[in-house]
Structure 1
Amino acid sequence: MSATFDMQQEELEVLESIYLGDDCFKQINNTTFQYKCGEDGSPKSMLLEICWGEMYPDEKPVINLNTFYNNHLDKTSKDYLCKQISEQADDMLGCAMTYTLFEWVKENLETLMGSIANNLPPPPPLISHPEDVKNEKNQKDEKQPKVKKPKEQLTKNQKKKLFDRVGNRGEVARGADWVDVIKHLSQTGFKLETG
């Protein structure tokens, strides 16, 4: 067996385990996969199909957006999206890339669809090196200092009242806020109209 076949089999197993139970993912066969990105039925959603060739991952997969689900996208939009996804695949030749491409489209779907509508530049490329991810994360952490909110401390008496109200399940008992109609009427009084 060739190394390419072994890499495909390994990636196939990884995809099956990652997307187990994910309704957006569909495996058509051992080399063709689909992922529905965006809210179902939304004009800002799409069905991305990735098909591996014989030499995948040493060659780019076929990126297909010509599915029935994507009828709301015109040819120019589909060509633009395919080009953007294909450019991401260029940077990952020789590596398993199906999961990464699906995730990149999911994360950048809003930007991609906005670019189509407004003819804007494409979203930023994938971060290919783990060091870049760490550096980007550290920069975000430096910009936003973390502020911890103190936990609310209840007194014993407050805890007892809370327990009496919600019980050990943490839920208010059914009917706890119902009004006793008879008791209510007896408190408000009942006046007969004489006429």
Structure 2
Amino acid sequence: MTTNEEQEMELEALRSIYEGDECFKEISPVSFQFRIGDLEDSKAFILDVSWPDTYPETAPQMSAVTATKQLILSKLEEQVVANLGTAMMYTLFEWAKENQESLMENHKPIVQAVTVASSNEATVTTPAKKKEKKEQLTKAQKRRMVSRTDNKGELPRGWNWVDVIKLSKTGGKDDD
């Protein structure tokens, strides 16, 4: 199998594994970002990974967006050496998720930023709140939804109509 075929297979696997996952972002077919940890977590970090032309025979290029990135990158390099020659992106992402606490143990979070206004008053700003996470549907739920709706995604005409025959059997107003 050629290097390009291996990259294409791994890219397809990554897309199917991380479909709908907010943590995974494909920048290009050979460049990815993966957020380790929740948005509110002060120990969360972003891992940037790019594949060279000869990947997986050579190590991917990695960088981390955090203050303790040297520790993280050195630990990830150990994992890269152990997995060299195989498709390793899923393994690296999952290993980083599992070892997030040990990777970020020396991290000093920035809780609040203080800015000084021109009138010598200090204002405190807090980090932005996390957006509401959309509920992800499973494939089975998506299939059921498609089978119930038409090509425009609308329910068929009369889906909520009441059966007139059943109403006449239950009785209505007295016709005296």
Same fold (TM over 0.5): yes
Q: Are residue 27 (structure 1) and residue 26 (structure 2) matched?
A: yes
Selected match of 2:80 from 77, 89, 100: 89
Q: Are residue 38 (structure 1) and residue 37 (structure 2) matched?
A: yes
Question: C-alpha offsets along residues 38-84 of structure 1, whole Å, 9 cap, x if unaligned?
Answer: 1104220001111100110000100111xxxx3xx32xx21111111
- Rounded to whole Å, the distance in 2 between the matches of 1:38 and 1:17 is 20
**Equivalence for 1:80:** 71
Q: Which runs of 5+ in 2 are unaligned?
A: 109-176
Alignment of 1:141-152 (within 5 A): none
Larger Rg: 1
Moved over 2 A (4+): none
Q: Which runs of 5+ in 1 are unaligned?
A: 119-195
Output the amino acid matched with 2:62: I
Q: What's the % identity of the aligned pairs?
A: 40
- Rounded to whole Å, the distance in 1 between the matches of 2:47 and 2:35 is 6
- Rounded to whole Å, the distance in 1 between the matches of 2:15 and 2:41 is 26
Q: CA deviation at 1:89?
A: 0.5
Task: Using CA pairs under 8 Å that are at least 6 residues apart, name the structure with larger relative contact order, 1 or 2.
Answer: 2
Q: CA deviation at 1:117?
A: 4.8
Q: How many residues align?
A: 108
Aligned-residue RMSD, C-alpha: 1.6
Taking structure 2 as the reference length, what is the TM-score of the superposition? Answer: 0.58
Taking structure 1 as the reference length, what is the TM-score of the superposition? Answer: 0.53
Q: Point out the structure with the larger strand share.
A: 2
